[in-house]
């Protein structure tokens, strides 16, 4: 039915971000599949939270045994291996893919490009609207300040985060260094339960600009990913960016 809610599959459903996507889905989308790796201790357990499709209880399951009928989008916060699996199933069943999994190696990025020939695809290291806006501002700072200023980045995340620097830090460094040959210095701290803090220090002779972005609740990432899933599900194949959602002009795929 045209007015039926979007039905999604969540890769990495039992992880930190997967749990947030399930919680944020209530009232917005239906969760059809809560997917975990085949050796997950959560396999077969009832899935807490979320808004299950067709009523009843959904359970954590593996992608290879799942019933994919009616799935309109995949939301992936898993691992590089999980992302590879998500790409496979999205291609097989022609399903839109939204992924926040990092790191995204060059071969995975090429696989996303190939998938985008068949379905709409969005991969982003961070789904925070505030962080997105900051990244859009950074090239302007670089242009206004000139070559005598240099920048460094600090990213702070929870102790279990595996990639350092984070995908977000790499994106911010790329925004500062766009069109420039030098690398932006960065440092990473993995400590406790920190959700995600990023600092951009812009240093000039006798002055410094410090810009901080702090996330207090992972829910902001989940909400952004669901925004993307709802937007992409009805769009034509292509490689999309967050600009496609949040630019005032509405943006377009790459």
- Give the active site residues: 157, 161
Chain CA centroid to CA 56, Å: 28
21/112 Cα distance (integer angstroms)? 21
122 in the same domain as 19: yes
Residue 194 near residue 157 (C-beta atoms within 8 A): yes
Eight-state DSSP code of residue 56: S
**Structural domains in the chain (count):** 2
The strands making up 196-204's β-sheet, listed across from edge to edge, are 185-190, 150-157, 196-204, 207-215
The answer to whether position 99 is within a domain reads: yes
Burial call 177-187: b when 16+ CB within 10 Å, e when fewer: beeeeeebebe
64 in the same domain as 44: yes
The answer to whether position 198 is within a domain reads: yes
- pTM of structure: 0.83
Residue 54's pLDDT is 59
The answer to whether position 19 is within a domain reads: yes
The answer to whether position 144 is within a domain reads: yes
134/212 Cα distance (integer angstroms)? 9
180 in the same domain as 74: no
Residue 199 has which token pair? Answer: 């600092």
CA distances from 42 to 46, 47, 110, 138 (A): 8, 9, 31, 42
Residue 181's pLDDT is 46
Residues 15-48 have pLDDT tens digits of: 999 999 999 998 899 999 999 999 999 999 998 7
113 in the same domain as 87: yes
In which residue ranges of the chain is pLDDT below 50?
1, 181, 252
180 in the same domain as 90: no
The answer to whether position 251 is within a domain reads: no
Residue 177's pLDDT is 82
The answer to whether position 155 is within a domain reads: yes
Residue 50's pLDDT is 62
10/182 Cα distance (integer angstroms)? 38
27 in the same domain as 49: yes
79 in the same domain as 202: no
- The residue segments making up the domain with residue 193 are 129-215
The answer to whether position 146 is within a domain reads: yes
| Tokens 């990092």 sit on residue | 102
CATH of the domain at 15: 3.40.50.720
208 in the same domain as 235: no
């Amino acid at each position: 039915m045209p007015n039926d809610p979007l039905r999604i599959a969540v890769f990495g459903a039992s992880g930190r971000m997967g749990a947030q996507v399930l919680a944020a889905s209530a009232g917005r989308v239906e969760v059809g599949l809560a997917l975990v790796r085949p050796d997950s201790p959560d396999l077969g357990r009832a899935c807490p939270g979320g808004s299950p499709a067709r009523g009843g209880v959904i359970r954590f399951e593996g992608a290879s045994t799942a019933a994919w009928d009616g799935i309109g989008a995949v939301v992936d916060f898993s691992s590089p291996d999980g992302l590879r699996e998500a790409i496979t199933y999205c291609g097989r069943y022609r399903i839109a893919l939204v992924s926040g999994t990092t790191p995204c190696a060059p071969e995975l990025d090429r696989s996303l490009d190939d998938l985008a020939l068949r379905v709409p695809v969005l991969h982003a290291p961070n789904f925070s609207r505030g962080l997105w806006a900051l990244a859009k501002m950074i090239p302007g700072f670089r242009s206004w300040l000139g070559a005598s200023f240099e920048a460094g980045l600090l990213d702070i995340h929870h102790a279990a985060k595996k990639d350092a620097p984070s995908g977000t830090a790499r994106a911010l460094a790329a925004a500062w260094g766009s069109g420039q040959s030098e690398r932006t210095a960065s440092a990473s701290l993995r400590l406790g339960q920190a959700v995600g803090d990023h600092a951009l220090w812009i240093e000039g002779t006798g002055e410094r600009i410090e810009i901080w972005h702090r996330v207090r609740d992972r829910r902001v990432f989940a909400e952004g990913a669901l925004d993307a899933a709802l937007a992409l599900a009805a769009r034509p194949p292509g490689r999309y960016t967050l600009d496609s959602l949040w630019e005032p002009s509405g943006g377009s795929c790459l």
